[in-house]
Structure 1
Amino acid sequence: MLKPLEVTEPTNFKEAFSFSFATLRGICCLLLFGVAANANAAGPPASIAEFLDLNCTGCHDASTHEGGLDLDSLTLTLEDPDNFHLWQRVFDRVGTGEMPPDEDLDQEETTPFLASLHQRLKATDSARIASEGRVSARRLTRSQYERNVCELLAIDIPLRDFLPEESYTRIFDTVSKSQQVSDHSMAAYLQAADAALEASFNRLLTETEPLNVRLDWNQLRRDEERTDREPEGRPQHQDIVSWSTRKNFYGRMPATSVPTTGRYRVRMRVRSVHPPDAGRVWCSVQSGVCNATASTMYWVGSFEATGETSEYELEAWIREGHMLRVVPNDRGLRQVPVPMIDDPAGTVEPLGMPGVSIKWIEIRRVEADRADVQRALLGDLELRRIATDVSEDDQHEPQRFEIESKNPEQDLRNTVESFAQRAFRRPVTQAELRPTIEFALKRLQDEGSMLDALRAAYRTILCSPQFLYFEEAPGVLDDYALANRLSHFLWGIGPDEELRQWAAAGRLSDPAELRRQTDRLLDDSRSKIFVEEFTDQWLMLHEINSTTPDSKLYPEYDDVLHHTLPMETYAFVHGLIEHDLPVRNIVDSDFTFLNSRLARHYDIEWPGGMGMQRVKLGPLSRRGGIITHASVLKVTANGTTTSPIIRGVWMLERVMGEHIPPPPANVSAVEPDIRGATSIRDQIDKHKSLDSCAACHVKIDPPGFALESYDVIGGWRERYRAVSSGKGKKWVDGMPVDPSHEFASGESFDSIEGLKQIVSSRPEQLARALATHLATYSTGAAPTFADRETLDAIVAATESTNYGVRSLIHEVIQSSLFQQK
């Protein structure tokens, strides 16, 4: 049986590309052609064999065997995936003129060779797709699992924390090829299901009101006899003040400790104290134990306090016993020396240091509505309270409930069937539901409780293949499978009622209705899930927390800036989709989305206002386009230095759609000199002088060096920062940055603006790359050889909109790539 024709990529991007790579001419050919298939199999037809004989076997026959390759033994056994990939590489390298090296072939020789090989490759791949489908068994990702379970049970808890981390193949965690399910992961699914059911049934059977407290300044302020890192009170203002300082855990408030783990909504009334010239003090809100015994702090959110008293609201999952910490968290502010921060109240304020005033904090436990939970678990059935012998004065005895039913067995059947249809995202047959029903009936007979029987049935359903996996048969998807794929693509969750209705009517696959539903989903606020999860994986933003910038080299980097970086990119991608803006904006644009903190980081004049705003960029801003967002510049650096290789490969694969193979194992890494004695360009020039490195550097180096104008945290630079050897100074200017380079085509540039002009002049390439990523993410498999003409059609169909991003999404969804397994 044929397997999906995909090339395995390294899962750790930075490890795989932390050094330069390429191939010797012989190794190039080895990677190009691979290991010859069984010599006893039929050889290639005359038209192909003659071309190889004339142009290739002089170096790669049985006697010369250059690069370890004997083309005399090459077969055309395309049913073998490895052999197929071998010939696909032959086709691509000859078609682009990369092979044979240092030789221009006559089109009269090349055209019939490529046509003959193309016909055979497409026919074989098309036959595989017709038989097996493009996508092998594909399951819900752990974030999709969490959303689906929480919607089914009308709760909101972080179930993904129970499940193993996802693997990434072809950039995305939705790709079926890497979605393995082991005994360990199945145990994790059971644990997650149990936690979800526990939360849902507890809410159903509990009538207590959730926590809702307001703590005024007097309850929040520190004990002046034992300050213990808490904000100081100001009786004359009836508030507390948290000052800007670097003292660990300063700004903590023990009175805010929550009694139980859960989701909380935090409201606070605040204003700035002694703000800088910008008029605002950026503050962070975190939760934690706030001492060295459990030092991990969890991000709740941030806000910008101004001279006007304002109320802010944040929501987060907070663990039992954790308290809130509110503190100015902007490295651009003057800070109170650590030894002074616990001095008597009133000591710091005359110094004019920035701080934040807090009048009160309100903490409310966010609980699911009991009526919603009851409908989710019981449908139309009602609960009745069971009388107990316990005294009414005993407040510690929980209330007991049971389902009101005159026909428990039939009601159990109906309720389980209704739940299964929602869970499986399609109608279910009695035959496939029979084992679950019988299991639930047995539990009812043994325990005598419908609640226990339903819970057991739901646990079985939430761990069943019909729930965990996308059920798609080879060929064109039926309307239910299409609804499921569409909804998970754009909302990351199963279809809503309207989609289910169109699927039931068999009308969703109508092109006009499918287009209308696509627009409806994109215009809904729930499409934020698609924007963020697709962007995180496409641009590698899920790595944003994997490195911490060196505090000596980049002392201006703080938590507020860190959490702002992805917000710019999310807002930008959303804007591209909402307004169907041309795909070239990914490379260059005259706008972006900023808040005042990020504007200061970019040295862009802030137009005023609060929060993220669309900002017009001037010609000298050195910004515009996703490729110069600080978010992507940070994830393509290691916290201390930048690498043109890492950024070059990122640009080629994520933006330009050119796959770069993993480096040979015998090529050593390029380690930038943080002392500034040797430039990265000098090191790479020496590195790529090796024949084994030169071929790939021709592609990698141009975009990689252009992006060297941006440092580890995405700031503009003319010179590299180097570690200072003197006392008191954390870093010094190192060698100058040289962003100039040229492409193999001969197009040269001197700056990032020059690179942008060259790349943005190729909108078809950018559109094809994005369409490929969208198809891979949405379907669970990367396009293969037989899909190439479909991709061409997708790109051509969006030319009239200047390759608008929303248009590309529409055309992907309308294509056979999306509508077939």
Structure 2
Amino acid sequence: MLPIPSFRLSPAVLLLTCAILANPSFAIESVLSESDAMADLKAVQAILVSKCIDCHGADEQNADVRLDQLSTDLVSDPKGAETWHDALGAIQRGEMPPDDAAPLTTAERQVLAGWISNQLNRLTAARKATGGRVVLRRMNRQEYQNTMVDLLGVELNYTENLPPDSVSEEGFMNNGSALRMSALQLEYYLQAARRGLKSAITEGPAPEPFSHSASESVSDKKKDHWTTRLGRNGRFVARVPEFPDTGAFEIRVKAHAEIPPEAPLPIMQVQFGFRSDVRAPAKIVAVTEVANEESKEFVFRARLEEYPIQSRTQSKYPGMLIWIDNVYQDGKRAPKPVQIKEQVEGKKKPVTRLHYPEDPEFPKIVIEEVSFKAPVFASWPPKHSQDILPRQPDSPSDQRQAASEAIDRFLPRVFRRPIQDQERDLFLNYYDTVRQSEESFVAAMREVFAMALIAPDFLYLAEPSSQQHTITDDQLACRLSYFLWSTMPDPQLFELAKTGQLHRPEVLSEQVQRMLADDRASRFLDSFSKQWLDLAGVDRVAINPEYYPGFDNALKPLLQRETQAFFAEIVRQDLPATQLLVADFTMMNQALAKHYGIDDGPRGTSFQRVSWGPLSSRGGLLGQGAILMANSTGEDSHPIKRAVWIRDRLLDDPPAPPPPDVPDLDQDLPELASLPLKDQLKLHLENDACADCHQALDPWGVALDSFGATGLLREKIIRLNPKDRKKRLQHDVDDAVTLPDGTDVKGIAELRQYLVDQQSKAFARALSKRMLSYALGRSLEFSDEETVEQLTQQFIAADYQISELVRLIVCSDPFQR
């Protein structure tokens, strides 16, 4: 309780702190310095006495709230915590004290609201605290997909029925506290396991492959342009009359390009499916640019199980179809076909047909030949089948021995560790049971392995222990592989774990270097950057065509890809992480170069490093379209969202959430639309509760106001007139601001330089903290502060090299415990 008006402070610890210390896992992060604690509570006590106790004390309890005896043991008294929470809301809304009482001064409100907020935050942290233990977590969708492919050796979509992953408070989708499991979800895991094993483990003699080739297009629909020359219009279609229902298939396309000078590269899209009465079910097999002007063979492989297969009884449009298109677009329409008459042998009258004129300036793809083959295999049974089930004996007595051998071989890879005798016996006994009802040895083994693939030791990254300890080499191999590759350990990691060498610092450092150089490291680079920088925010913004009539939503994934590729370039080239803030280059392809107005950019779909040149002032993350668009309204910039993003993602200094019931500024209001941005933001400062935060927040976002919602530079801010949507309101861009520490900056160029010059340590700490959280798969706690500070210092000393930060994290105590 908080005694009022008399108050005596413990000589060592605050009374409130003592209450929270009852929770041992929260003890360390609850201790404050005695001098700070005394000042805080004395100030709170004085405010409550002077402004609150008259209405909420011994004599009177308005709204049945009594503050002089309100419990401060928030951990064991949830009702008291709720009362403090309600009181905070009333203070922030300006409802307490009431109008007929003396109001809180700005300083008093800040002290009281700040004290309550801090205690509630500590309560939340106390309930979440694990004492630094890694939270038992299941694999997320990406990890599960990659692991199933690596484990079974068959490329299928194993996650198609799984629910989306939840996002943690830090923005990560690999946080154990956010990854749930349900009975229905477990059923989907079982379905995926059975489907994968049916494709992975083959039985019976080798099937006879079907093959077909075509050098001329068939007509899928009479009215369309079927041709071997694919320009602005035209499509090539090959019909496959015979085909299997399952197995790997291969499509080979021999083609070349005709590319006019200075023209971009054509883009070939290959689809596979069939024609029905009303539609053409199909899926894309591949999309690739065609840069060769000489004949070249393109080879695409996939599995029939992933594609719509025609019913065998359907006869109107028999056979599977391969569609090939040139999907490059430059925004211009294809020329309309014209009718021409030509004399056909055997016909008395000329025949009218459509002629499709070619555009000589448009890049074209010329199809020479298309071939199809299925099923495709190098040996039978295929290697992936033999890896899982090496022997398929006919003798029932020999089958049980083969089952035991297969279990011994497969289960350690499934569980990512050596298995115990009782585990082997459990699955062998299960084989004995299901073999009685299954029609074959292979069918029984598929079911045995399906049960293993829904076991907790597979679906979860399990590290069973009753207390903290240094993890085993097997567990370290898993942590390392899921951190950097989002999948199970490879044979080299398994072998190092088996021989007990992985914990050796020099071996661990070598493995980090090897894994970062591997193509699979792109999973870490892409996933971490997307989640750390909240690139998914692009998909949450709808670009208003009234403001941006020419914007193509197909650019959204390209904008996200730009930032991911930019982060990967910084890491792979061992550039200092500060280049994320100030680099004068970015990564883009032809479509993005066009969006940014760069005429001499890349010609194709692949992302390349491109200097900003005259636009170099927009370099770094703050000038990239994904960041700017994700933190916009879709009509205009959103300085507050952009400011929150900078403070949260780059500086690890997120502002407090806004008080309840405080509406956003509605720019559709006529009185607001006519005001320049800074005048609109001044309205926040009229509310004392808002002013406390916005004075230190708004400048960060205003400095980026030279960029509109689509991430393009502008000199004028254009708004629709709410009274007449056909008219426009214009304001000059004013991006000169004074930052909270008193530094004056004008626009993005000076802001990004300020971040490097004055906030580089805060940025290094933010990146270290986020990457450690991602690597551990859990939220960080107070007990991690020492590690974060140590990582930050070492990261800075290593010239901000991200690859070194990765190594430091892997070698850190939290990662190995």
TM-score (norm 2): 0.76
Alignment partner of 1:796: what SS?
helix
The letter of the residue matching 2:469 is G
The letter of the residue matching 2:510 is R
User: What are the residue-to-residue correspondences of 1:131-146 with 2, within 5 Å?
Assistant: 133-146=132-145
Q: Which residue of 1 aligns with 2:182?
A: 182
The letter of the residue matching 1:777 is Y
User: What are the residue-to-residue correspondences of 1:420-499 with 2, within 5 Å?
Assistant: 420-447=411-438, 449-472=440-463, 473=465, 474-499=468-493
Deviation at 1:674, TM superposition (A): 11
Q: Please say if 1:358 is aligned against 2:366.
A: yes
Q: Which residue of 2 aligns with 1:517?
A: 511
The letter of the residue matching 2:206 is E
The letter of the residue matching 1:620 is L
Q: Please say if 1:50 is aligned against 2:38.
A: yes
Q: Which residue of 1 aligns with 2:403?
A: 412
- Which whole-Å CA distance do the structure 1 matches of 2:219 and 2:787 have between them? 65
Alignment partner of 2:610: what SS?
strand
Q: Please say if 1:719 is aligned against 2:716.
A: yes
Alignment partner of 1:741: what SS?
strand
- Which whole-Å CA distance do the structure 1 matches of 2:732 and 2:402 have between them? 76
- Contact persistence 2:74–2:80 (CA under 8 A): yes
Q: Please say if 1:794 is aligned against 2:791.
A: yes
Deviation at 1:680, TM superposition (A): 4.8
- Which whole-Å CA distance do the structure 2 matches of 1:293 and 1:726 have between them? 46
- Contact persistence 2:264–2:603 (CA under 8 A): no
- Which whole-Å CA distance do the structure 1 matches of 2:781 and 2:268 have between them? 46
Q: List per-residue Cα deviations over 1:481-539 (Å, max 9, x = no partner).
A: 11101000101111111111211222211222111111111111111111122222222
- Contact persistence 1:44–1:74 (CA under 8 A): no
Q: Which residue of 2 aligns with 1:503?
A: 497
- Which whole-Å CA distance do the structure 2 matches of 1:347 and 1:673 have between them? 51
The letter of the residue matching 2:199 is A
- Contact persistence 2:71–2:80 (CA under 8 A): no
- Which whole-Å CA distance do the structure 1 matches of 2:719 and 2:300 have between them? 39
Deviation at 1:637, TM superposition (A): 3.7
- Which whole-Å CA distance do the structure 2 matches of 1:470 and 1:624 have between them? 39
Q: Which residue of 2 aligns with 1:816?
A: 813
Question: Compared with structure 1, are the counterparts of its residues 459 and 341 closer, same or farther at alpha carbon in structure 2 (3 Å cutoff)?
Answer: farther
Q: Please say if 1:349 is aligned against 2:322.
A: no
User: What are the residue-to-residue correspondences of 1:455-604 with 2, within 5 Å?
Assistant: 455-472=446-463, 473=465, 474-547=468-541, 549-551=543-545, 553-558=547-552, 561-604=555-598
- Which whole-Å CA distance do the structure 1 matches of 2:75 and 2:127 have between them? 12
Q: Please say if 1:279 is aligned against 2:279.
A: no
- Which whole-Å CA distance do the structure 1 matches of 2:43 and 2:711 have between them? 47
- Which whole-Å CA distance do the structure 2 matches of 1:707 and 1:429 have between them? 59
- 2:659 aligns with one of 664, 681, 685: 664
Deviation at 1:575, TM superposition (A): 1.8
- Which whole-Å CA distance do the structure 1 matches of 2:300 and 2:688 have between them? 56
Q: List per-residue Cα deviations over 1:218-274 (Å, max 9, x = no partner).
A: 215676xx324xx353xxxxx323416xxxxx8584748998688876654556668
Alignment partner of 1:59: what SS?
helix
- Contact persistence 1:720–1:734 (CA under 8 A): yes
The letter of the residue matching 1:612 is F
Alignment partner of 1:614: what SS?
strand
- Which whole-Å CA distance do the structure 1 matches of 2:339 and 2:49 have between them? 80
The letter of the residue matching 2:195 is A
Deviation at 1:605, TM superposition (A): 4.6
Q: Which residue of 2 aligns with 1:767?
A: 764
Q: Please say if 1:776 is aligned against 2:766.
A: no
- Contact persistence 1:279–1:306 (CA under 8 A): no
Question: Compared with structure 1, are the counterparts of its residues 209 and 586 closer, same or farther at alpha carbon in structure 2 (3 Å cutoff)?
Answer: farther
- Which whole-Å CA distance do the structure 2 matches of 1:488 and 1:410 have between them? 34
Q: Which residue of 2 aligns with 1:150?
A: 149
Alignment partner of 1:501: what SS?
helix
- Contact persistence 2:764–2:796 (CA under 8 A): no
Q: Which residue of 2 aligns with 1:741?
A: 737
**Unmatched 5+ stretches in structure 2:** 1-13, 24-29, 57-64, 89-104, 311-320, 341-351
Question: Compared with structure 1, are the counterparts of its residues 301 and 127 closer, same or farther at alpha carbon in structure 2 (3 Å cutoff)?
Answer: closer
- Which whole-Å CA distance do the structure 2 matches of 1:341 and 1:488 have between them? 58
Deviation at 1:799, TM superposition (A): 2.1
Question: Compared with structure 1, are the counterparts of its residues 409 and 691 closer, same or farther at alpha carbon in structure 2 (3 Å cutoff)?
Answer: same
CA RMSD of aligned residues (A): 4.6
The letter of the residue matching 1:655 is L
Q: Which residue of 2 aligns with 1:308?
A: 293
Query: In terms of Rg, which structure is larger?
Result: 2
- Which whole-Å CA distance do the structure 2 matches of 1:674 and 1:255 have between them? 59
Question: Compared with structure 1, are the counterparts of its residues 58 and 795 closer, same or farther at alpha carbon in structure 2 (3 Å cutoff)?
Answer: same
Alignment partner of 2:704: what SS?
helix
Q: Which residue of 2 aligns with 1:240?
A: 229
Q: Which residue of 2 aligns with 1:399?
A: none
Deviation at 1:371, TM superposition (A): 2.6
The letter of the residue matching 1:503 is A
Q: Which residue of 1 aligns with 2:62?
A: none
Alignment partner of 1:735: what SS?
strand
Q: Which residue of 2 aligns with 1:335?
A: 333
- Which whole-Å CA distance do the structure 2 matches of 1:647 and 1:563 have between them? 20
User: What are the residue-to-residue correspondences of 1:3-402 with 2, within 5 Å?
Assistant: 50-60=38-48, 64=52, 75=72, 133-169=132-168, 170-201=170-201, 203-205=202-204, 207-208=206-207, 213-216=212-215, 218-219=216-217, 226-228=222-224, 231-233=225-227, 239-243=228-232, 253=237, 255=239, 268=253, 278-280=262-264, 283=267, 285=269, 287=271, 302-304=287-289, 308=293, 311=296, 318-320=307-309, 324=323, 326-330=325-329, 332-336=330-334, 347-349=355-357, 354=362, 356-360=364-368, 361=370, 370-379=381-390, 381=391, 383=392
- Which whole-Å CA distance do the structure 1 matches of 2:149 and 2:583 have between them? 39
Q: Which residue of 2 aligns with 1:754?
A: 750
- Contact persistence 1:204–1:373 (CA under 8 A): no
Question: Compared with structure 1, are the counterparts of its residues 767 and 315 closer, same or farther at alpha carbon in structure 2 (3 Å cutoff)?
Answer: farther
The letter of the residue matching 1:449 is S
Deviation at 1:626, TM superposition (A): 2.4
- Contact persistence 1:260–1:319 (CA under 8 A): no
- Contact persistence 1:241–1:358 (CA under 8 A): yes
- Contact persistence 1:705–1:739 (CA under 8 A): yes
- Which whole-Å CA distance do the structure 2 matches of 1:709 and 1:296 have between them? 46
Alignment partner of 2:47: what SS?
coil
Identity across aligned pairs (percent)?
24
Q: List per-residue Cα deviations over 1:743-798 (Å, max 9, x = no partner).
A: 21112222111111111222211111111111111211121111111111001112
- Which whole-Å CA distance do the structure 1 matches of 2:615 and 2:479 have between them? 43
- Contact persistence 1:420–1:428 (CA under 8 A): yes
The letter of the residue matching 1:491 is W
The letter of the residue matching 2:518 is D
- Contact persistence 2:239–2:322 (CA under 8 A): yes
Question: Compared with structure 1, are the counterparts of its residues 692 and 735 closer, same or farther at alpha carbon in structure 2 (3 Å cutoff)?
Answer: same
- Contact persistence 2:20–2:74 (CA under 8 A): no
**Unmatched 5+ stretches in structure 1:** 1-32, 91-99, 106-112, 234-238, 245-249, 384-401
Deviation at 1:705, TM superposition (A): 2.4
Q: Which residue of 2 aligns with 1:109?
A: none
- Which whole-Å CA distance do the structure 2 matches of 1:39 and 1:172 have between them? 29
Higher relative contact order (CA 8 A, sep 6+): 1
The letter of the residue matching 2:217 is Q
Alignment partner of 2:45: what SS?
coil
- Which whole-Å CA distance do the structure 1 matches of 2:290 and 2:728 have between them? 33
